[in-house]
Amino acid sequence: MFLKYCGFQTQDDIKYAVEEDIDAIGFIHYPKSKRHQSLDEIEILSNLVPDSIYRVAVVVNPTSDIINLLVSKTNINAVQFHGDEEKQLLRWCKKTYPSIKIIKALPANAELLTKIQQYKDDTELFIIDTPSIHYGGTGTSFDWRILDDIEDVPYLVAGGMNKAKIQQFESLNLNTFGYDIASGIETDGKKDPLKMREIAEYVKGEKQI
């Protein structure tokens, strides 16, 4: 299972996270998010992450200039488009920066399958999140049964995922590629090393109830 932890803001949190068996760490560059990080902050934090872990810049409806700055100024090697971006922007990013992993987040709504078809040629990994006018960050789940119709594309499940919800999700036997977790590894709005370890050990190691 692919495991992405998202919304990092401090060097200490990064140090705890990279000790775990995770695949990606996300930094949010979107001023309306409570977890927003500036370019300078992402530069510092992304350089603390080893090459074995993807460094993901999470953006919402960015310009190509923003993408250029993120790639040139920081140590990210993946971009997660979390807004209503035109597929041409993803295609441009893929062509301009072939070494950058392209991730597209989509809301779990009635248009999900249509949107997947629209973006799949330019996307390496999808994230399915709870619908929100604020583009994610709700900390709440959606009806996972909508995922049953997704075929032939890798996707992560987001939306308030924590250990208990991962266990519930597993009972549905849906074909997910993994999980994208932010609030589920936090306590009182701050990253919690114990929750990071507990989830990583459950998803990646010996599963213990």
pTM more than 0.75: yes
pLDDT reported for residue 89: 98
Tell me if residue 104 falls in helix, strand or coil: strand
Tell me the three state secondary structure of residue 154. coil
What's the CA gap between 182 and 35, in Å, rounded? 10
Rounded Cα–Cα distance for residues 192 and 93 (Å):
33
pLDDT of amino acid 209: 45
- Please give the helix or strand (H or E) that residue 80 lies within, else none: strand 78-81
State residue 136's pLDDT score: 61
Report the Cα 169 to chain-centroid distance in Å. 18
**Residues of the chain where predicted confidence (pLDDT) is lower than 50:** 208-209
Contacts of 45 (CB under 8 A, 6+ apart): 8, 9, 10, 11, 14, 27, 37
Kindly list the structural domains of the chain, giving each domain's residue range(s) and its CATH number in brackets, ordered by start. Answer: 2-204 (3.20.20.70)
Q: What is the pLDDT of residue 137?
A: 64
At 131 the pLDDT is 84
Residue (of 107, 108, 89, 85) closest to 97 by Cα position? 89
